[in-house]
Amino acid sequence: MKQHHTVKSVCKTFFGLVLPVAAFLIFLLFPFYWMFVTSVKPNAEIYANPLIYWPREFTWATYEKLFGYFDFLKYMKNSLIVAVCTMILSLFVSTLAAYAFSRYNFPGRKVLMAVFLSNNMFPTVLLMIPLYSIMRQLGLLYTPGGLVLAYTTFTIPFSVWLIQGFIRDVPFSLEEAALVDGCNRVRAFLKIFLPVLTPCLLAAGVYMFMQAWNEYTLASMFTNPATRTIPVALNSLIGQLGVEWDMLCAGGTVSVIPVCVMFFFAQKRLVAGLTAGAVKG
Amino acid sequence: MKKALAILLALALTLSFAACGGPSSASSTPAPASSTSAAPASSTPADEPSGDPVALTFWYWADNTDQSNLIQQIVKDFNESNDKNITVTAEEYPWDSGGFTDSTFNAIMGGGGPDMSTMKLQAGKTFAANGLYADMSSYVDAWEDKAQIGDNVWEMMRNATGDGKTSILPWTLEALYVYYRPSYFEKAEVEVPTTFEEFLTAIEKCTMDMDGDGKTEYGFGMRGAGGGQEHLGNFLYPYGATWDDLTTPEAVEAYKAYLSIYQNGYAPETAPSAAFAELTDGFKTGLTAMIIHHIGSYAQWVDLFGDDVDAFPVPGSDKGQWTCAGDTELVVYEQCENKDAAFEFYKYMTVGEGGTTWFKNTGKGLGTSNVKETEEFKSNKFQAVAAEALKSAGVLPPTDTLTEFINNVWAPTNQQALMGQITPEEALETMNKALHG
């Protein structure tokens, strides 16, 4: 009887959990798998009919070309600089702005919040020419700084709303206790408030990083061959007459790695931060 | 820990600003506004150049990394060899399915952008209407090698802007023709078609299992989506229709013949969504016996199939014959302060050494004497077919709404017609309205 129950339970777990999760994972990971195997296939195997699911012959020549002739590291460095700077700048400004919007009551607060939100209502292309013109006047065109500023015009408003929503849920009594214990505003913010905000800042930071890492439209306008970022560099492999699938897939595979690594660490911190925040709250 | 976090944040912020500012000075590109100013001292031409130094920026797209390298090399050679102290900085931008012209347009409208760039005829009117092109008519008229390029080509350039000026300068014209697999023809027992009717028959007969794997190979690689509008012209003219009016009975008959290829199963099921990549992938994998394309892709077919690939011009009928010329032009922008230098560069890129090098490596050109004299031209069977196809070549009518037709109307309308969701008449009505207003 007990054995019957065990078999039933195993079957239930297998069909109810393991199998659907496995199917979902295959669905989710297959594009990444295909991207990788395409990058290590010789050209003839990429276009073979019927499809070759596992390379008969591995070649790393594409990666050699990618990091050699194509100088992909340069694009990775540019993307990393832009994404990290966008993230840090946006987090810094958004956190302070969101704090002010949440904790201070000043005239025009709601209007300002609405104005922040309205920025996201405009399509990116609409702002291309004005932003281009501004960047040119400021001498920021074709510099990573220009691209960072352009990205922050989109990431900051969103992050302000995101962080502000989180701050509202943080009890004001936490800061009051700190103020009563002798902290000033700045110290209370840094010592008490900021640690509680960690999970939210991580979530917002990951969002900003991803936005800047993957963005194409503005990057194609505000960079030149020296400051080009990964999405634009990869797009240049899609020509009028053909797609260099091997290079494109190799570039895609490499560009996914930093994001995966970041997520791996951010995820751990994110969960830890959430737990800590809940206990403190 | 918290203190460390705060210090780290401040440090990272400081570093980020420093990092942002850094590469700007290392940028290899002068700011567009100063692109026509004096050339850098380090780029002095070798052959005792005369005149003040002139710096020009040239934006281009490349179809692959080899072409990218090639253009950079050609420009480098020009910088080193020209005797007029001209230094061109070539900057590559992604083709981005035509987004290149949008980026260039936005950049110039924003006060930046290049002095010269590669261009497509279809974007001619938008740029011309905004006064962005330089009128190069006087330069062309005074050019001793003008006659090397056919009058019909210059006419095509003038028509593309709609203002009668020669603002767009031809660089490469690639007439579309049919690539086919002789082994497939042999198996299907068909000869190379010389009439449009034979062409349709060949498509039908080549739809069979060619490699014995139990799956059907298709007679024709149909490009139902992006870029496929160019192929429609191959069907219109043999039925007596033209691009001028797509609602005539002749146009309807031609379009029905086109649609029937897919609806009868002579083209892959993916045809409605097939753009260039799907078209070429189908031919590469042996899925299709024939595709319509131009000289630009011959090298990859020869690499892949060796002798088992050949070509013929898309046949016509006694009513007409037409094929689209894939085009890439060079333009000089009004904001260029030294148009003489820009035209020198153009000459180098066509009848000069740059044009010869370009042809030798890509098979593309304008059939100028420097190109025809090369061994690459004489020994390439595809060049002869391309030259033959060029005789009936043209471009889509450069109406104000051509870009809109190409980018937003053609693919969805044609897809609906291929899938039988709308009638051929309805599809042509929509296309005609989009094309001619």
| pLDDT tens-digit map of B105-130 | 999 998 999 999 999 988 888 899 89
Biggest CA pair distance of chain A: 81
Give yes or no: residues B289 and B330 share one domain.
no
CB contact under 8 A, A221 and B103: yes
B189 to chain A nearest CA, in Å?
A: 23
* pLDDT score at A92: 95
Q: Residue B286 is nearest to which of A49, A65, A225, comparing CB atoms? A: A49
Residue B29 pLDDT more than 60? no
**Any idea which of B14-18, B330-334, B353-357 has the lowest mean pLDDT?**
B14-18
Mean pLDDT over residues B8-14, rounded?
46
Residues in chain B within 8 Å Cβ distance of A129: 106, 109-110
Residues B124 and B267 placed together within one structural domain of the fold: no
The answer to whether residue B407 neighbours chain A at the CB level (below 8 Å) is no
Mean pLDDT for all residues in chain B: 87
Task: Give the pLDDT mean for A35-61.
Answer: 88
Instruction: Give me the pLDDT at residue B12, please.
Output: 47
Instruction: Find the CB nearest A92 among B13, B97, B304.
Output: B13
Q: Which of A130, A191, A236 sits opposite B2 (nearest CB)?
A: A191
Is the pLDDT confidence value at A20 over 60?
yes
Contact B224, B271 (CB under 8 A): yes
- Is the Cβ pair A143, B96 closer than 8 Å? no
Distance spanning both ends of chain A, measured CA to CA: 48
CA B61 – CA A240 distance, rounded (Å): 9
Q: What domain count does chain B have?
A: 2
Q: Spell out where B37-143 has E strands.
A: 54-60, 86-92, 116-119
In this prediction, residue B39 carries a pLDDT of: 38
Nearest CA to A86 among A190, A166, A159?
A159
Q: Does residue B26 lie in a domain region?
A: no
Q: Which residue has better confidence, B313 or B394?
A: B313
Mutation site for A-interface testing, chosen from B3, B7, B27 by largest number of A Cβ within 10 Å: B27
Of the candidates B383, B407, B428, which is a domain's last residue? Answer: B383
Asked if the C-beta of B26 comes within 8 angstroms of chain A's C-beta atoms, the answer is yes
Tell me which of B80-89, B252-261, B375-384 is least confident: B375-384
Residue A202 pLDDT class (50, 70, 90 cuts): confident
Q: Which of B9, B94, B304 sits opposite A235 (nearest CB)?
A: B94
Q: Is the pLDDT of residue B11 over 60?
A: no
pLDDT of residue A264: 80
pLDDT of residue B337: 95
- Chain A hits for B61, CB-CB cut-off 8 Å, are 236, 239-240
Q: Which residue of B has its CA nearest to A146?
A: B20
Dump the DSSP string for B308-342: S-EEEPPP-BTTB--EEEEEEEEEEBTT-S-HHHH
pLDDT grade for B34, boundaries at 50, 70 and 90: very low
For residue B5, list chain A residues with Cβ-Cβ distance below 8 A: 194-195
* H/E run at residue B82: none
Whichever domain contains B55, its CATH number is 3.40.190.10
Same domain, B229 and B104: no
Residue B317 burial (CB < 10 Å; 0-12/13-18/19+)?
A: middle
From the centroid of its chain, how far is CA A222?
Answer: 20
CB contact under 8 A, A239 and B9: no
Domain extent, residue B59, equals 34-173+326-383
Pairing of β B54-60 and β B323-332: unpaired
Please count the CA atoms within 13 angstroms of the CA of A265 that sit on its side-chain side.
Answer: 6
Q: How far is B64 from chain A (nearest CA, A)?
A: 6
Q: Which comes out higher in pLDDT, residue B186 or B174?
A: B186
Do B126 and B209 share a structural domain? Answer: no
Distance CA A125, CA A42 (A): 39
Please tell me whether residues B144 and B285 are part of one structural domain. Answer: no
**pLDDT for the residue B2:** 45
Which of residues A106 and A120 earns the better pLDDT score?
A106
B27 in a structural domain: no
Cα–Cα separations (whole angstroms), residue A162 to A121, A157, A202, B27, B206: 16, 9, 12, 36, 60
pLDDT of residue A2: 62
Q: Based on the domain organization, do B344 and B314 belong to the same domain?
A: no
Kindly determine whether residue A85 and residue B19, on different chains, have CB atoms separated by under 8 Å: yes
What is the pLDDT confidence band of residue B28, given thresholds at 50, 70 and 90? very low
pLDDT for position B22: 40
Instruction: List pLDDT tens digits, range A132-180.
Output: 999 999 999 999 999 999 999 889 998 898 888 888 888 888 888 888 8
Interchain pair B2, A195: CB under 8 A: yes
- Cross-chain CB nearest to A239 (options B23, B95, B287): B95
Residues of A in contact with B296 (CB under 8 A): 241
The distance of A143 to chain B (nearest Cα, Å) reads 5
Give yes or no for residue B264 having a pLDDT over 90.
yes
Task: Tell me whether residue A275 is exposed, middle or buried, using C-beta atoms within 10 angstroms of its C-beta: 0 to 12, 13 to 18, 19 or more.
Answer: exposed
pLDDT at A154: 87
Per-residue pLDDT reduced to its tens digit, A258-281: 888 888 877 766 665 455 444 443
Q: How far is the C-alpha of B127 from the C-alpha of B163, rounded, in Å?
A: 11
For residue A115, pLDDT over 90 is answered with: no
Query: Residue B139: inside a domain, yes or no?
Result: yes
User: Is B276–A240 a contact, with Cβ atoms under 8 angstroms apart?
Assistant: yes
Model confidence over B195-246: pLDDT tens digits? 999 999 999 999 999 988 889 999 999 999 988 999 999 999 999 999 999 9
In angstroms, the separation between the Cα of residue B100 and the nearest Cα of chain A is 9
Picking from B134, B132, B122, B191, the residue whose alpha carbon sits closest to that of residue B160 is B122
The rounded mean pLDDT for chain A is 87
Mean pLDDT in residue range A22-41: 94
Last residue of a domain, one of B344, B364, B383: B383
Q: Which of B3, B8, B17, B96 to mutate to test the interface with A (most CBs of A within 10 A)?
A: B96
Residues A62-79, mean pLDDT to the nearest whole number: 93
Of B12, B28, B95, the CB nearest to A240: B95
| Nearest one of B428, B390, B385, B414 to B178, comparing CA atoms | B385
ipTM of the complex: 0.76
B247/B292 Cα distance (integer angstroms):
24
Q: What percent of chain A has pLDDT over 70?
A: 94
Residues B124 and B202 occupy one common structural domain: no
| Predicted pLDDT at A280 | 43
Which residues in chain B (45-74) have CB-CB distances under 8 A to chain A? 61-65, 67-69
In a domain, B20, yes or no: no
- Does some domain include residue B5? no
Q: B288 in contact with A at a CB cutoff of 8 Å?
A: no
Q: Which of B411, B354, B391, B309 is nearest to B88 (CA)?
A: B354
Looking at the domain assignment, is residue B64 inside a domain?
A: yes
Nearest C-alpha neighbor of B209 from the set B231, B236, B184, B227: B184
Q: How many CB pairs under 8 A join A and B?
A: 155
| Same-domain pairing of B296 and B426 | yes
Q: What is the pLDDT of residue B170?
A: 94
Do B145 and B185 fall within a single domain?
A: no
Which ranges in B206-275 belong to alpha helices (H)?
229-236, 249-263
pLDDT at B44 over 60: no
In a domain? residue B29:
no
Whether B306 and B366 map to the same domain: the answer is no
Is B426 among the domain residues? Answer: yes
Does position B311 have pLDDT exceeding 60, yes or no?
yes
pLDDT of A89 above 70: yes
- Rounded CA gap, B154 and B353, in Å? 22
Contact A242 B64 (CB under 8 A): yes
> Is A132 close to B33, i.e. CB distance below 8 A?
no
CA–CA dist B221, A43 (Å, integer): 21
Distance CA A36, CA A263 (A): 20
Preferred mutation among B2, B24, B103, B361 to probe A, highest tally of A CBs within 10 A: B24
Could B95 and A47 be called an inter-chain contact, meaning their C-beta atoms sit closer than 8 Å?
no
> Are B167 and B136 part of one and the same domain?
yes
Asked if residue B289 lies in contact with residue A233, where contact means CB atoms within 8 angstroms, the answer is no
B161 and B280 belong to one structural domain: no
- pLDDT value at B27 more than 60: no
Model confidence at B53: pLDDT above 70: yes
Residue of B nearest to A82 (CA): B20
pLDDT of residue A1: 55
Find the CB nearest B91 among A69, A224, A237. A224
Contact with chain A for residue B304, Cβ under 8 A: yes
User: Rounded CA gap, B81 and B349, in Å?
Assistant: 13
Query: Out of A88, A145, A221, whose CB is closest to B107?
Result: A221
Mean pLDDT, rounded, for B52-62: 94
